[in-house]
Amino acid sequence: NVTLDFPRGSFTAIVGESGCGKSTLASLLMGKNTGFAGSLTLGGIPLEEISQESLLKAVAYIGHQSYLFKGTVRENLAMACPEATDEAMWAVLEQVKLDTLLQERGANLSGGQCQRLALARGLLHEGPIYIFDEATSNMDADSENHIVSLIQALAGKKTVIMISHRLAS
């Protein structure tokens, strides 16, 4: 018996203990969990009537274990926005403070750096909705504060849902 409304351009934080259903909610919003009771709509359209392709264009999901694809940083960023210019790619990498030489498969990246690359990829996405699911969990406090500021700055322009187990985030 949960009712949630995420108005366009809003910032919503969902905070709770591990295992309380925060990531399950994100999975529901991304159309990954089906067979639930009740209804879920996006812009007034029932989620089951929205194609997976349209949903992925509308919603950028950045999780705590975002996948980095084999290839270059450019190829990883282009997954979010194939037509992105070099300037746009450099801009998001600067925003997340990621200026690191990359070894094959990102073998030399820390967990926090992998999350920064995933965040940069998400920032290139031009959809109206962003879901950040524990997207700063592997970062030190200073990096997390910087990234949280970037996420908060999206609100007003985009609908932002930030999931965390830390209230301070």
25-60 per-position pLDDT tens digit: 888 888 888 778 888 888 889 988 999 889 988 998
Query: How far are the Cα atoms of 2, 3, 28, 38, 149 from residue 116, in angstroms, in the given order?
Result: 32, 32, 24, 35, 14
Res 37: pLDDT: 84
β-bridge pairing 11-15 and 59-63? unpaired
Environment class of 83 (CB within 10 Å of its CB; exposed 0-12, middle 13-18, buried 19+): exposed
- With residue 12 as reference, give the H or E element that holds it: strand 11-15
Environment class of 160 (CB within 10 Å of its CB; exposed 0-12, middle 13-18, buried 19+): buried
What tokens appear for 35 in the block? Answer: 């067979």
**Count of helix runs (H) and strand runs (E) in the chain:** 6, 6
pLDDT digits (tens, 9 = 90+) for 68-121: 777 788 888 888 888 999 999 999 888 888 866 666 656 777 777 778 888 888
Res 130: pLDDT: 93
Q: Give the mean pLDDT of 130-155.
A: 84
Beta bridge pairs of residue 42: 45
Contact (Cβ atoms closer than 8 angstroms) between residue 106 and residue 72: no
pTM exceeding the 0.95 threshold for the entire prediction:
no
Which pLDDT band holds residue 160 (cuts at 50, 70, 90)? very high
What tokens appear for 42 in the block? Answer: 């996006």
Which residue do the tokens 């009537």 mark?
49
Most distant pair of Cα atoms in the chain: their distance: 49
Strand order in the sheet with 129-133: 11-15, 159-164, 129-133, 59-63
